[in-house]
Chains A and B, each alone.
Chain A
Amino acid sequence: MLLTTNDVKKIAYLARLGIEDHDLEAFTHDLSNMLNLMTQMNSINTDEVEPMAHPLPQSQRLRADNVTETNQREHFQHLAPHVEDGVYLVPKVIE
């Protein structure tokens, strides 16, 4: 296998995905298979190739610096699991 369960634990933390210990083996197995598939790419030489980020070679359009949005706080905060006095609440942020 290309990955160890420890690798997967690290990646999962980076992605902030909680993974139960009993699922770890299965994820490690599946991800290793996926990586196997991806290493097929190495069969092609791409040394002189320019990477392609977008299908069309266009440039970014720019918008005029105008304020177009109005306050919709209540509307948006209806969706939030925990708000108080207009702010979103989360467990204590430690800096």
Chain B
Amino acid sequence: MNSAPWEIVIGLEIHTQLATHSKIFSGAATAYGAQPNTQACAVDLGMPGVLPVLNQDAVNKAITFGLAIEAEIAPYSVFARKNYFYPDLPKGYQISQLEHPIVGKGYLDIDLDGESKRIGITRAHLEEDAGKSLHENFHGLSGIDLNRAGTPLLEIVSEPDLRSAKEAVAYMRKLHELVRYLEICDGNMQEGSFRCDANVSVRPAGQTTLGTRTEIKNINSFKFVEKAINYEVERQIEIIENGGRIIQETRLYDANKDETRSMRSKEEANDYRYFPDPDLLPVTIDEQLKAQLKAALPELPAAKKQRFQAQYQLDHDAAHALTSSRAMADYFEEVVKHTTLDAKLCANWLTGDLTAALNKADLDIQDSPVSAARIAELLQRISDQTISGKIAKQVFDTLWQHPNSTADTIIAEQGLKQITDSGAIEAIIDKIIADNPDQVEQYRSGKDKVFAFFVGQVMKAMQGKANPAEVNKMLIAKLTP
């Protein structure tokens, strides 16, 4: 892609479904996956005469988010109606916020190859989700399922501060991590709990005014956001370089074809006729509620990362990996609490073997078959030298297969206990020295590297169970003339 003379400008609008039990304006459940229209009550269906009443927890979650991004929480915010006709929008308007959003300007710092960049957040506002149109199996008609209608959303709008698809993804990941930390959104992207619209434009490098943008709708994975933006950037540059003009429009990313296409149906007369919803009064948020929610804020990822580095002497990468989710960080701290093994080694275990096993099984840390307590027991056996790190990996594999077992049981059943009996080790060493006179000669003539050969031979002969420190000590004594 020839993007050298072009600057890419991206802003993201992210819709996070707030993890409330009931809808934003009704008492219907928000649980995912119910039979169609079984969670759509009279209010959600827009029946004549019904009225909305605002969910306290949706408001609390929005405020919590605002506090976490250091934003101003509006003391006075207003719900407005966004009017348009669509079959998944039962009332013919969406209750949203326009002029007085609940969360004002804030920011999020993202990491880019070790460098930090501050991304502005313009605003975040509460609104209700729409239902879903289903296109299969209705003999040429569309089916409408309104279970999702009325689910609370927090729409988080970034400044056009992002300069590449990579930055956009980094921002999106960071935000995803944050909302899960705050436990305001389950972050489940397959279920649509975290969805992204991207506003993309390009301009010649150095130009200060923005180019005409297009909005790519509903891109629901990190991978697709990157691909969709890259495709769109290329498309726009190509048009401009061929003397064309970008049309401001809404586009849809087609993951199968890896391209964006115009959504003409959304284009006609985008006149939403916003006005304050007369069925809802202004929301006032007092200092007391704010203080209460602020006190309840969990430790945020950035602070936690810093603390992990300081408290556990972890390097940046390890601290970063362990704080990528609140569950992982909690898991780590649970392990460290129950073992005397060095925290750094614990971290290696979690970011290494455990993460690899989780990835292979496509599991989140919350769903790990091996609990933090079990891992701690295992690591404790390294710490007290019952087993070596190498044997521990073997124990871990067994533990993963049999999560109800324990490290001690596996060590005992498989006879993996480290051999510290110097007599047994000495006998083996003597035999190996006798069998390998050439190597002995080499070592004694100054080739230190051969030492590893002897260690390997001893370990092999003892099936890895020998205490490595003991082996080293005795080998040096025997080999030194």
Which A residues contact B (CB, under 8 angstroms)? 10, 13-14, 16, 53-54, 58-69, 71-73, 76-77, 82, 84-95
CA distance A91 to B141 in the complex (A): 5
Closest approach, in angstroms, between the C-beta of B274 and any C-beta of chain A?
13
Select B55's contact among A10, A62, A76, A84, beta carbons within 8 Å: A62
Q: Could you tell me if B87 and A60 are in contact, using CB atoms closer than 8 angstroms?
A: no
The answer to whether B27 touches A53 (Cβ under 8 A) is no
Neighbour of B41 across the interface among A62, A69, A86, A93, CB < 8 A: A69
Residue picked from A14, A85, A88, most chain B C-beta under 10 Å: A88
User: Which of A58, A67, A76, A94 neighbours the largest number of chain B CB atoms within 10 Å of its CB?
Assistant: A67
> Do A67 and B138 contact each other (CB < 8 Å), given the known contacts A73-B38, A89-B144?
no
Q: Which residues of B contact A60 (CB under 8 A)?
A: 54, 79, 280-284
B144 contacts which chain A residues (CB < 8 A)? Answer: 87-90
Using A10-B269, A54-B281, A60-B280 as known contacts, say yes or no to A69 and B141 having CB atoms under 8 A apart. no
What are 26 A-B interface contacts by the 8 Å CB criterion?
Answer: A54-B278, A59-B282, A60-B79, A61-B53, A61-B54, A61-B281, A62-B53, A62-B56, A63-B56, A64-B56, A64-B57, A65-B21, A65-B57, A68-B22, A69-B29, A69-B41, A84-B138, A84-B143, A85-B143, A86-B36, A86-B38, A87-B37, A87-B145, A91-B142, A93-B135, A95-B265
Q: Is B42 positioned at the interface, with any CB of A under 8 Å from its CB?
A: yes
CB contact between B37 and one of A54, A73, A95 (< 8 Å): that residue: A73
Number of interface residues, chain B, beta carbon within 8 A: 55
Closest residue of chain B to A77 (Cβ to Cβ) is B37
Determine whether the beta carbon of A66 is less than 8 Å from that of B22.
yes
B282 & A88 in contact (Cβ 8 Å cutoff): no
State whether A65 touches B58 (Cβ < 8 A). yes
B328 interface residue (CB < 8 Å to A): no
Nearest Cβ in chain B — how far from A56, in angstroms? 9
Interface centre among B40, B78, B79, B86 (most CB of A within 10 A): B40
Chain A residues whose CB sits within 8 angstroms of the CB of B133 once the complex forms: 93, 95
Most A Cβ at <10 Å: residue of B27, B57, B86: B27
Within the assembled complex, what's the spacing in Å between the Cα atoms of A72 and B278? Answer: 27
For residue A16, which residue of chain B has the nearest CB? B85
The distance from the CB of A21 to the nearest CB of chain B, in whole angstroms, is 20
A residues within 8 A CB of B265?
94-95
If A14-B269, A54-B281, A68-B22 touch, whether A88 touches B87 (CB-CB below 8 Å) is yes
Interface residue ranges, B against A (CB under 8 Å): 20-22, 26-29, 35-42, 45, 47, 53-59, 78-79, 85-88, 133-135, 138, 140-146, 252, 263, 265-266, 269, 271, 273, 276, 278, 280-284
Most interface-central of B45, B273, B283 (chain A CB within 10 A): B45
Cα distance A57–B266 in the bound complex, in angstroms: 37
Residues of B near A62 (CB, < 8 A) are: 53-56, 59, 283
Additional 10 contacts, C-beta under 8 A, given A61-B281, A69-B27, A73-B35: A16-B85, A53-B276, A59-B284, A65-B56, A66-B22, A71-B38, A85-B36, A86-B36, A92-B135, A93-B87
**B57: A residues at CB distance < 8 A:** 64-65
A88 to B86, CA, bound (A): 13
How many angstroms from the CA of A92 to the CA of B86 in the assembled complex?
12
With both chains docked as a complex, state the minimum distance between the C-beta of A34 and any C-beta of chain B, in angstroms: 17
Cβ contact within 8 Å between B54 and A76 = no
Beta-carbon nearest neighbor of A13 in chain B: B269
Q: Is the CB of A63 within 8 A of B36?
A: no
Q: In the assembly, what is the distance between CA of A69 and CA of B147, in Å? A: 12
Contacts of B282 in A (CB 8 A): 53, 59-60
CA of A16 to CA of B93, assembled, Å: 13
- Smallest CB-CB A-B distances: 4 pairs: A68-B27, A87-B143, A65-B57, A62-B56
> Which of chain B's residues have a CB closer than 8 A to the CB of A85?
36, 143
| Chain B residues within an 8 Å CB radius of A93 | 86-88, 133, 135, 142
B29, B35, B47, B141: the one contacting A90 at CB < 8 Å is B141
Q: Give the distance to chain A from B201, nearest Cβ to Cβ, in Å.
A: 23
For residue B38, which residues in chain A have a CB less than 8 angstroms away from its CB? 71, 73, 86
Give the residue name and chain of the B residue nearest to A76 (CB): B45
B21 contacts A66, C-beta separation under 8 Å: yes
Q: Which residues of B contact A73 (CB under 8 A)?
A: 35, 37-38, 40
The complex places the Cα of A91 from the Cα of B36 at a distance, in Å, of 18
Do A87 and B56 have beta carbons less than 8 Å apart? Answer: no
Q: Inside 8 A of B278's CB, which chain A residues have their CB?
A: 53-54
Min distance, Cβ A12 to any Cβ of chain B, angstroms = 12
Closest to B281 in A: A60
Closest to B265 in A: A94
Contacts of B54 in A (CB 8 A): 60-63
> Can you name the residue of chain A whose Cβ is closest to the Cβ of B25?
A63
